[in-house]
Amino acid sequence: MPFEFVCPFCLNRTKVGDEYLGQGGPCANCGRHVVMPTRDARGALVASIQTGVPVPTKEKVDAGPYPKYLKLAIALSVLTLMVITGVLVGVFVVPWFRSAIAEASQRRDLNNMQQIAEALNAYSARYGTYPTPAVTDANGVKLYSWRVLILPFLGYESEYELFQKDQAWDSPANASLISRMPPVFASDNSSDALANFESNYSLILGAGTLFPPQGPLGKADAKDKPTILVVETRNSGASWTQPGDIDISLYGLKVAQKPMQSIGGLHGDVVLAVDSDENELKLPMSTPQSVLDALVTANGGESIQPGAWKSGAAAGKTTGGK
């Protein structure tokens, strides 16, 4: 409830709200310090003592220079902690994060190749040998890839039945099936393989391999352990149904040079492969040529010393004919 306050110094009258009861401040007319009245228990106004001088407030005690130094020490400690944290992140966390990304990227390709190797081995178990790398007609003209032959073993029976086995991969009937490529044939580490229906996984052809000129061997014929069955390579622009693999009799066994002519190329420092026992192999780019040559022969009897390369499931194995 508003009340009328009369300044005891200049007698100026002012309407004041109850929210200012007991508060002090300068008079709006004369500027002298005045104190508003209070109310008693019955609500009656009780005049305050007026001196014209504001009540002095307690001054903050100066604690000296120590708080300033303490603040500086805290700031320096925080800054030091931030620097140390940044260094630790740069030294340990960032490399670990990059390594984890690389490992996940490699794992996706290895999973794809292991599924393909499993299908190839299932084909071998049923027919006695691995599929021919390229199906040919009576005149020896290549019609389509081994990838078509293993479709039923990958769960794509309908695509296999629709494919015209007596026609080339690019005939009108078969060309319409190119877009139905199983994703397992392409790497998502390649920027365009999936979109263009191209494969990133190849067989190794040539004398001494599981796929020599006289015809494919079977899983049981791989006496050397390990023997590479499927390897990753960059896609070359060829359809997944189109015949084409890495033929070492034409190009030799090279690393990351040309798509579908050399192994590797999807991962900067390692070549990924899967052997006839469906074990994963991670071959450093520095793997000696003699070791690479030994890994692609099925019955060469070569000896690979432990530590010659590092792999996931096959590290430290030696090869040799039984």
Per domain, the residue ranges of the chain are 104-296
Give pLDDT, residue 16.
83
Residue type, 199: S
pLDDT level of residue 314 (50, 70, 90 thresholds): very low
User: Could you tell me if 263 and 246 are in contact, meaning their C-beta atoms sit under 8 angstroms apart?
Assistant: yes
- Look up the pTM and report it: 0.67
Q: What is the pLDDT of residues 213-267, one digit of tens each?
A: 999 999 999 998 899 999 999 887 889 999 999 999 988 898 887 777 889 988 8
Q: What are phi and psi of 78, to 5 degrees?
A: -65, -45
CA 308 to chain centre: 28
| pLDDT reading at 312 higher than 60 | no
| pLDDT reading at 313 higher than 50 | no
Give pLDDT, residue 94.
52
Give pLDDT, residue 138.
94
pLDDT: which is higher, 66 or 225 = 225
Give pLDDT, residue 89.
57
pLDDT: which is higher, 202 or 7 = 202
Q: What is the pLDDT of residues 272-287, one digit of tens each?
A: 999 999 999 999 988 8
Q: What is the pLDDT of residues 148-173, one digit of tens each?
A: 999 999 999 999 999 999 999 999 99
Give pLDDT, residue 318.
42
Q: What is the pLDDT of residues 117-153, one digit of tens each?
A: 999 999 999 999 999 999 999 999 999 999 999 999 9
Residue type, 115: Q
pLDDT: which is higher, 123 or 45 = 123
Please give the share of the chain, as a percent, with pLDDT higher than 70: 84
pLDDT level of residue 309 (50, 70, 90 thresholds): low
Measure the CA–CA gap between 30 and 15, rounded to whole angstroms.
Answer: 16
| pLDDT reading at 43 higher than 90 | no
Least confident span in 60-64, 145-149, 163-167, 194-198: 60-64
Please give the share of the chain, as a percent, with pLDDT higher than 90: 48
How large is the average pLDDT for residues 1-9?
81
